[in-house]
Structure 1
Amino acid sequence: MRYVAILIAACLAWPALASPVEPVPGVPERRELLNTLRPLVENDLGAPVEFMVDQLLWEDDRAFGRVVAQRPGGGQIDIATTPMVQRDGVLPEAIDGTRVEAFFRKTSEGWQVVTYEIGTTNTWFLAYDCANYGAFMREWGC
């Protein structure tokens, strides 16, 4: 009977032990997530952009990414000439580089960006929706 209780406890704890996975280059899920984010970032920084992935985590129908946008081949993006500065009037000194944080959700139509920020000077994402995205922020106390 004691072994049955231990087995039941282990089974109940299993979902809590699950962790998000990081899709490696070449995995379709990774490509889909980055391609979902790309048009939004290109709208703000100008096209074309490619991403250097710092962190990309995926679990079930949610994902979180921290990437750095750059021009193809590793070229730097001149913030002063981007649409977010030229078109939207964002002050270049208010943008801390081209780092992007994004939250994703998968629907029946595919991956969608729930929210994202470019070049923030704070860690806004640490306080974002712990109820739904806490699995990605455990190391920061979510």
Structure 2
Amino acid sequence: MRRLAFFLAVLMPGMGWAWEEPQRGTDTRSALMDALRPHAEWMLGKPVEFVVHSLRRSGDVGFASVRAQRPGGGMIEIARTPGAKRGQLDAEFMDGSSLQALYRKSGKTWVAVHWAIGATDVWYADPAFCPEYQAVIPEVCGG
């Protein structure tokens, strides 16, 4: 049920949620992607670009659901990534190069405080995240 609510929220952003989607070309969108990039590059190798599935901001918190790829649309082979070589990623137990992140703005800087690569569950549905992030993930926080 939570996944259905998530997909409806992604497909129907005008439903009156408290968040907004930073548009392409805006400083906020660039800052959110740049905050996630070092994590992705550390695990997946350089360079990466993101295909955005969902990007939300409300005040000083944000949420992203993206897929990392190589520039120009090249697929990332998880088994050949630095994270796999360090034993931190296993392609057999991952949803590819998908990433999700919960952000907090610190001063003028966005920080990817909580993030996951290849998650096969909705890890951010943990009730512990709801007091701080409910505005950007209402479908999993009962809001």
- Which band: TM-score by shorter chain? 0.7 to 0.9
Asked if residue 111 in structure 1 is aligned to residue 110 in structure 2, the reply is yes
Instruction: Select the structure with the greater relative contact order (CA < 8 A; seq sep ≥ 6).
Output: 2
Determine the structure 1 residue equivalent to 2:37: 38
Q: Equivalents in 2 of 1:108, 1:19: separation in Å?
A: 21
Q: Equivalents in 1 of 2:42, 2:110: separation in Å?
A: 18
SS in 2 for 1:136: coil
SS in 2 for 1:47: coil
Asked if residue 63 in structure 1 is aligned to residue 71 in structure 2, the reply is no
Q: Equivalents in 1 of 2:32, 2:50: separation in Å?
A: 11
Per-residue CA deviations over 1:69-117 (Å, capped at 9, x if unaligned) read 0000000000110111112343221221111000110112511111100
User: Kindly, what percent of the aligned residue pairs are identical?
Assistant: 40
Q: Equivalents in 1 of 2:88, 2:112: separation in Å?
A: 23
One-letter identity of the residue aligned with 2:30 = R
One-letter identity of the residue aligned with 1:105 = R
Determine the structure 1 residue equivalent to 2:9: none
Residue 27 to residue 120, structure 1, CA distance change in 2 (3 Å): same
Aligned length: 126
One-letter identity of the residue aligned with 1:124 = W
> Is the contact made by 2:53 and 2:65 (CA closer than 8 Å) also made in structure 1?
yes
Q: Which has the higher helix share?
A: 1
Determine the structure 2 residue equivalent to 1:130: 130
What root-mean-square deviation, in Å, do the aligned CA atoms of Structure 1 and Structure 2 show? Answer: 1.5
Q: Equivalents in 1 of 2:17, 2:40: separation in Å?
A: 31
Please list every run of 5 or more consecutive structure 1 residues that lacks an aligned counterpart in the other structure: 1-16
